[in-house]
Structure 1
Amino acid sequence: MNHARSEHTASVLINGRVLVTGGYSSDNWVNSAELYDSSTETWTPTASMIMPRGRHTASILTNGKLLIVGGHISVDVLNSTELYDPSTETWTSTANTIKPRTSHTTSVLTNGKVLAAGGDINFDALDSAELYDPSTGTWTPTASMIMPRASHTASVLTDGKVLVAGGDNSFDTLNSAELYDPSTGTWTLTANMIKPRASHTASVLTNGNVLVTAGFDNNALNSAELYDPSTGTWTTIDSMNHARASHTASVLMNGKVLVTGGADGSVVLNSAELY
């Protein structure tokens, strides 16, 4: 990347490029953004976000735009949101969330709505969840999670359910996982991860399994594991080359997973690796 950063986001756009936004770099919260082209393996700058932010989320909507939600700047937790248009490389503001939240997740459901779940406000973990409707630009509440959690992951499975895994509850690192069913608006528990972890990543692979990488549990981790939705079980796989947390992972057009940046507990990383 052009800039070392952690607590950022990375999203595969409809044109196949990866958009990295915001985060923390060299003692500053940044609004800068850059694009990775896997065909040339190069990074180029693009327009900066309206607001600097870290531990926000980024979701590709069905119309191809990118929705940025919440996050924080220092101790200020944000409820602001903004949209990136890849065709014009410009940013515009959209409706605020019902609750400010950082270290949360957002997931694009099969009906096109966006589920925002959990996170924290001033280190108080949330169990609340809300839905964004791109057609109206509004947020509405939905059922709360079974457990409050922040710095977790959320993955939309092939059956349309959302797998939420790990994170922390302001006191402990979690290995618990739960499923959200958009058709009923309810949450149910599923099998625990093998290792508790927060600030990790989860990526849905082309075979439908979910790859969970690294994160932290007292220290930065380099371990990884796979969730099989058909059996509801977790298995350990080979560890990554570097321990890292608050990094990103993106499934590329060729099916590989690009892991970028993060921090290992002592330095912010600009390294990247492929699974």
Structure 2
Amino acid sequence: MIYARALHTSTLLTNAKVLVTGGANNSNHYHNTTELYDLSTQTWTMTGRMNYARAEHTATVLIDGKVLITGGYNITDALNSAELYDLTTETWTMTSNMNFPRFGHMASILSNGKVLVVGGSNGTRFLKSAELYDPLTGTWTITGSMHVSRFDFTASVLTNGKVLIAGGVTDEDTSGGNELYNPSTGNWIPTSDMNMQRFGHTASVLTSGQVLVAGGFSDNFTNTAELYDSSTGTWTSTGLMHQAQAFHTASILKNGKVLVAGGYSFSSVFSKHSELYDPSTGTWITTDSVNHTRYQHTATVLINGKVLMSGGATTDGYLNSTELY
């Protein structure tokens, strides 16, 4: 990449390019810069700057192909601002502000085209509030709040259209509690607990419709993984990863396997470790390690099936390096 960055976003656009936005390259410098990766030339180019520098924000591709950026933080504040990227003009325009400033939140596009933003932190406390963005009107409306405030959790859109919230850190402790958002009612209902409380984990919706939760941190780093079945609302343990790790990335490959890479681990703090989960056997196998230790990085599945890993932080500082799996 042109700039070193961590805590950024990386989004596959409808034109097959990858948009990287924001992030930080030290504790006092946050980016409003954005850049594009072109798979056909394997090159990076600068594109329009966001109106606000931000890190730990979200990026969501809307039905019309635009990208909605929400929240995040900069040097002094959590942000409630939101903006839209138009890939045809490569420009940013402001849209209406969220009702609450937040970072470390989750954003999920629903089957009706609206975007659900939930949880995170406002810099003082963790949040349970949720709100909906309507791309047709460019406005936000408050929807039902979660039962538990949470940060460093996951949000997964299920095949039935509901959104599964799993784990995270709460104002009280690490959360094993999970809940479901029903877009038709705007309400949240509790669902069964995971077998292990965790945060800093990943959640991947498999081709079977099950959700694979892997790794994370509870009392310590964990190599456990479990599957959520939306038809029964239950969790079952699946194969153990070869290495305990947290704040890694998880990418669903075209063959249905899940690639887990990077993050924190016991052995080296910052990890090069990568492994693959095979849903057909419920087991993990190690695969080629990444070239650079990294966490707070991104991993994006490209249209050719390869995975683009970009940026992040390591013991030597912040990275602008990228690599393909």
Matched, 1:179 2:227: yes
Would the aligned equivalents of 1:212 and 1:225 in 2 still touch at CA under 8 Å? yes
* 1:162 positional shift: 0.8
Shifted more, 176-185 versus 1-10: the winner is 1-10
Matched, 1:3 2:60: no
Deviations 1:2-43 (A, max 9, x none): 532453334444445554443344454334556667889x67
Q: Which of 216, 234, 239 in structure 1 is aligned with 2:289?
A: 239
Equivalent residue runs for 1:28-39 within 5 Å: 28-33=77-82
* 1:50 positional shift: 3.6
- Name the counterpart of 1:194: 242
Distance 2:231 2:276 in 1: 25
- Name the counterpart of 2:258: 210
* 1:138 positional shift: 0.4
Q: TM-score, normalised by structure 1?
A: 0.84
Distance 1:270 1:94 in 2: 38
RMSD between superposed Cα atoms in Å: 3.0
Would the aligned equivalents of 2:150 and 2:171 in 1 still touch at CA under 8 Å? no
Matched, 1:107 2:156: yes
- Name the counterpart of 2:189: 140
Letter in structure 2 aligned against 1:29:
A
* 1:186 positional shift: 0.9
Would the aligned equivalents of 1:213 and 1:222 in 2 still touch at CA under 8 Å? yes
Deviations 1:33-66 (A, max 9, x none): 56667889x6745535443322211212112222
Change over 3 Å in CA distance of 1:71–1:265 after alignment to 2: farther
Would the aligned equivalents of 1:8 and 1:246 in 2 still touch at CA under 8 Å? no
Letter in structure 2 aligned against 1:191:
G
Would the aligned equivalents of 2:23 and 2:56 in 1 still touch at CA under 8 Å? no
- Name the counterpart of 2:4: none
* 1:254 positional shift: 5.1
- Name the counterpart of 2:114: 65
Identity of aligned residues (%): 56
Would the aligned equivalents of 2:85 and 2:93 in 1 still touch at CA under 8 Å? no
- Name the counterpart of 1:126: 175
Matched, 1:91 2:140: yes
Distance 1:203 1:129 in 2: 22
SS across alignment from 1:59? strand
Distance 1:2 1:8 in 2: 9
Letter in structure 1 aligned against 2:294:
R
Distance 1:53 1:272 in 2: 28
Letter in structure 1 aligned against 2:251:
S
Deviations 1:94-139 (A, max 9, x none): 2111111111111111111111111111472111111100011000
Matched pairs, number = 273
SS across alignment from 2:142? strand
SS across alignment from 2:246? coil
Q: Structure 2: where are the runs of 5+ without partners?
A: 1-19, 25-54
Q: Structure 1: where are the runs of 5+ without partners?
A: none
Change over 3 Å in CA distance of 1:152–1:226 after alignment to 2: same
Deviations 1:64-103 (A, max 9, x none): 2221110112340100112233445543322111111111
Would the aligned equivalents of 2:178 and 2:194 in 1 still touch at CA under 8 Å? yes
Change over 3 Å in CA distance of 1:95–1:159 after alignment to 2: same
Of structures 1 and 2, the larger Rg is shown by 2
- Name the counterpart of 2:200: 151
Would the aligned equivalents of 2:131 and 2:142 in 1 still touch at CA under 8 Å? yes
SS across alignment from 2:314? coil
